[in-house]
Each structure stands twice: as structure tokens, then as C-alpha cells.
Amino acid sequence: MGEAEIPFTLDRKSPASLSAQLANQLRSAVLGGILQPEQNLPATRRLAAEIGVSRGVVVRAFEQLSGEGFLESNGAGGTKVAIRPDIQNLPVKTKLPGLTSEAVGIINLAPGQPSGAPFRDREWRAAWKNAVSADVATHLPPVLGTHELRLAVAQHLAASRGVAVDGDDVVITAGTSDGLQLIMAMLRERQGQNGRPRVLVEDPGYPTARRVLAAAGAELMTVPVDEDGLRSSQLDSLSGMPDAVLVTPSHQYPLGGRMTVQERLGLLSWADENGVLVMEDDYDSEFRHKRMPLPAIASLPSNADVVLLGTFSKNLSPWLRCGYVVVRGQTGENLKQARAALDTPVSGILQSALAHYIQGGGLSRHISRARREYAHRRELLIARLGDRPDIELAALDGGLHAVSRFAQPSAEVVAAEALRQGVKLVPLSGYYADRAADNGLVIGYGAVTDLQLARALDVLLSLLD
Ligand SMILES: Cc1ncc(COP(=O)(O)O)c(C=O)c1O
């Protein structure tokens, strides 16, 4: 098992000594399952240097926890977590004083967080080494993205989604939010400066997209959807005609179902007839657990204008802020002009590293590993919650999150009490815009360990009982 990496936050103004604070956080990491039985801790000298304290502070904290039975010192062999799984099963009752929600102790089940593993991947580090050893470029990165990354994205899409695109059809963005702003800039340019493009969004849907679109000048219209997403028959009874529609056809966000091919074709033919731009948010379709992915809307035969929005936030990490749009035809040209006018927000060195990583096969290997990891946690979730007659589980076909609905207590109350017990859970209500929300939670399981997930579900179940 690898060495532990924990973000310690020490407060020099606190009345508690630094070694007591460190001991508290280490204890909490063992209790919370962040540190696992047998896991090695860094050497005292190195940890002291990393967190900027004297070695004596670390030695005292280790000694304290060894005395309490949490750690075991093997002399020159280092210190490891003592084998006490019974300790890890104890419910955490209170948050330790002085800890922020990001610090050790909170098990965060907010959705949208993938496994942090790619950054420890040897191939990822090699890709960066390669990128930084290249000649230093003194010019700005190309506005549409580097040739290498555009090509790598096209190859990745062909292999993972069966979408046949040319590197020239790909524009690199700083993620989906940036892609949406770009599309808005293009639509506003088309309408003139006072134009407010009307954008139809799913309800419930991705709240960040609603916020970003509104901030970029969109007038939002919503359409109620269930897990299977938007149905083309709903489009005939809209109160007005939108300029664009944003859909998550492969994994409705957050409810988790998918639009059938018939519905996708229906949407395309309506969009074509009415000159509506379809924005396809294809954010996590690489993570299918049971069923095969359906073809992307952007790959179906149609004359409608479609922009595919892709992101590296789920299959790699949101920390990168990198994604892409796939565009064709006149809309593609207009979008490229909008990008040229706005300039690129994406770093050239990031693009080089990412292109190396994708082309060397690192990304697809990482996705396969992550898929197995997520599938395993999904099984764990089903094993814990699946049999409960009071819980309806959904969104389990793919992705990194699930939805649990229950009649009572209120999801907001459950989330507040869970947080008090060290578990962050997100109520479903935040995803709804204009309709009454179902009572339930969106449970992200991408970034937690199995042990953390098991403990968090124990807390959830105890609150529902
Ligand atoms: C529905 C949906 N689309 C896209 C994204 C990714 O957005 P970005 O690429 O801006 O990080 C997310 C992330 O949580 C999401 O939930």
C-alpha cells in the first residue's frame, strides 16, 4: 500500500499545540478511513519539512498516536497505521475543532469529483516531464488549441465514443462552463449586442450551467424532465422557441437515465426544423457500468446544428480546467471566430502534457482503471442501500454519482445532520429550477475510498432510521 498523502492544516494561532493539532488530524484520518490499516506514513523528517514544523512536533504526534494504538512504529522501517478496523467502524460524532470542511475528517460525497488517482499515475508525470522538457515557447498558445491536443481529442472521441471527427472540428476550452460561455458569445454576436439568446435547459439539470448561461446573457427556459431526459413530444408545447437547447442525453444530470435513439432523432429533427442549436453536454459517458453507451447526438445523421461539449473534468480532473467543443459547418466557423475574439484561456503547457498523455494511451488506461473503481463503489452503494424499501436508488447505469430518493425526513435535514457527523451530502433540491423538487440526495462516489463510502452510508442510514 502506498504512502499516505494528507492535507494537514495547522493553525499557529490556536491555543492547541502544533503536535496536538497534528495528532488530532491524524487520528481523524484513521477514524475516517482516509488512512487505511497498514498504510505507511511519511518519515518524520520529511513530513516535518513538508508541513513546515520542527521534526520534534511530528515525533510527538506520532508517539501520542502510537500510545493510543492508532499507529505502530517499526523503528527504521517507519510508521504505519495499526491494524484496527474496529476503530474505523466507530461513527464520527463531532467535527474536530479548527477543521475546515476541506480538512481531514469530512467525507465528501458531493458529486462531480472524480478519483484523484491520475495525478499519481506514472504516465501522467511522464507526460508532464515531456511537456516541460520541450523548447520554451515564447508565443501565445493557438486560440483554438494546439494541433496535437485537437488531434488527440479527435482520436480519443473516435475510440471512446465512436464519433468520427477531424482535429479541425475540435476547439479546446477551459471546460464545459467555458464552452457554454463561448457558445453564448457566438449567439450574442449573431443577435447583435442587445440580444439575449433564449436557452432551453432540463429541469432538474446542472445548476452551474444555468448560472453560467444566465451570467453570459441567456434568457433561460426550462423543460421538466425525468430520468430519461427530454422527450421530443414536449418540444411542441413550449411557450416560445429557444435559440439553443442544452441536453445531457447520455446521462441525464443528475437523474441519470438516457435519451433513447428515437428521442435523440426527434430532438434533432425539431432542432433542424426550427433552427435551434443543440448543445450536447457529454460529460461522463466513458463511465458506463451496465449498458453500452448510445451514439452521441453529434454523430447522428441530421442537418441540425449540434455542438458537442466535452470535458476532462470527469475522466481526469476538474483541477485541470480543460475540455473541448466539437463543431462543424457555419456554426463551427462562427464559434471559432468567437474563440479568436476572446482568446484562449487554456495554458499551452497543459495542452502539451495532455496531448502526450492521451496519445500515449495513458488516458484510456486511466479511464479503464477508474471505471473498475467506480463500478466497485457502485456495487457497495447498491449493497448498502439497494434493499431498503424506503429508499429509491437511481442514476446507477453510469457516471460517478447516484440519486437516492426517500419520503422523509427532509433531505436538507439529513444533509445538515450528516455534515455535523463528518459527511457531506448534497440534496437533490439544488438541481431543480422551476419545479417542486423530489426529496432525495445526490451521492458522489468518485473521490472517496471504499471505506469512506461505507462509513458515510452508515451515517446516512442511521439518519434515515
Ligand atoms: C452535467 C455536467 N456537465 C459538465 C460538467 C463539467 O464541467 P466543467 O468542464 O466546466 O468542469 C459537470 C461537472 O460536474 C457536470 O455535472
* C-beta of residue 43 within 8 angstroms of C-beta of residue 137: no
Q: What is the pTM of this model?
A: 0.79
The backbone torsions φ and ψ at residue 440, rounded to the nearest 5 degrees and listed phi first, read 175, -175
- For the CA of 309, the closest atom of ligand 1 is 4
Contacts of 64 (CB under 8 A, 6+ apart): 19, 20, 23
The Cα–Cα gap between 328 and 305 comes to 8
Rounded (5°) CA angle 429-430-435: 55
The Cα–Cα gap between 459 and 305 comes to 47
Lowest mean pLDDT among 86-90, 327-331, 454-458: 86-90
The Cα–Cα gap between 198 and 61 comes to 58
Which residues pair with residue 79 across a beta bridge? 73
* C-beta of residue 109 within 8 angstroms of C-beta of residue 424: yes
Q: Which residue has a Cα nearest atom 13 of ligand 1?
A: 112
The Cα–Cα gap between 454 and 380 comes to 8
CATH number of 18-91: 1.10.10.10
Q: Residue 300 corresponds to which amino acid? A: L
Fold of 122-362: Aspartate Aminotransferase; domain 2 (3.40.640)
- DSSP 8-state assignment for residue 229: B
Q: Which of 206, 225, 312 to mutate to test the pocket of ligand 1 (most atoms within 8 A of CB)?
A: 206
pLDDT digits (tens, 9 = 90+) for 423-432: 999 999 999 9
Give residue limits of the domains in the chain. Answer: 18-91, 122-362, 364-464
Greater model confidence, 45 or 305: 305
pLDDT at residue 410 tops 90: yes
One CATH from 3.30.70.600, 3.90.1150.10, 3.20.20.100, 3.40.50.970 for 364-464:
3.90.1150.10
Q: What is the pLDDT of residue 51?
A: 84
The Cα–Cα gap between 279 and 294 comes to 17
pLDDT at residue 91 tops 60: no
Mean pLDDT of all residues belonging to the chain: 89
Q: What is the pLDDT of residue 88?
A: 56
pLDDT digits (tens, 9 = 90+) for 209-266: 999 999 999 999 999 999 889 999 999 999 999 999 999 999 999 999 899 999 999 9
Q: Which of 113, 172, 176 to mutate to test the pocket of ligand 1 (most atoms within 8 A of CB)?
A: 176
Q: What is the pLDDT of residue 84?
A: 52
What is the CA(395)–ligand 1 centre distance, in A?
A: 16
- Kindly tell me the burial class for residue 418, based on how many C-beta atoms sit within 10 Å of its own C-beta (0-12, 13-18, 19 or more): buried
What is the CA(113)–ligand 1 centre distance, in A?
A: 10
Q: Output the nine-digit C-alpha cell for 288.
A: 458506463
pLDDT at residue 287 tops 80: yes
Q: Output the nine-digit C-alpha cell for 215.
A: 451570467
The backbone torsions φ and ψ at residue 228, rounded to the nearest 5 degrees and listed phi first, read -85, 5
Average pLDDT over residues 166-186: 98
pLDDT at residue 121 tops 50: yes
* C-beta of residue 289 within 8 angstroms of C-beta of residue 253: no
Q: Output the nine-digit C-alpha cell for 28.
A: 481523524
- For the CA of 205, the closest atom of ligand 1 is 1
Most confident stretch, 4-8, 36-40, 184-188: 184-188
Counting residues of the chain whose pLDDT is more than 90, the rounded percentage is: 66
SS3 450: helix
Find cell 502506498 and name the residue: 2
The Cα–Cα gap between 62 and 396 comes to 41
Q: What is the pLDDT of residue 100?
A: 41
Contacts of 455 (CB under 8 A, 6+ apart): 32, 33, 88, 89, 91, 92, 107, 423
Q: What is the pLDDT of residue 73?
A: 74
Whether residue 42 is preceded by a cis peptide bond, meaning omega within 30 degrees of 0, is no
What is the CA(32)–ligand 1 centre distance, in A?
A: 28
Q: Which residue has a Cα nearest atom 14 of ligand 1?
A: 112
What is the CA(400)–ligand 1 centre distance, in A?
A: 12
* C-beta of residue 373 within 8 angstroms of C-beta of residue 115: yes
What is the CA(450)–ligand 1 centre distance, in A?
A: 24
pLDDT digits (tens, 9 = 90+) for 365-405: 999 999 988 998 999 999 999 999 999 999 988 889 999 99
* C-beta of residue 262 within 8 angstroms of C-beta of residue 230: no
Average pLDDT over residues 159-167: 89
**CB-based pocket (< 6 A), ligand 1:** 112, 175-177, 206, 248, 253, 281, 283, 311, 313, 318, 323
CA distances for 177 relative to 25, 208, 287, 313, 345, angstroms: 35, 8, 21, 11, 12
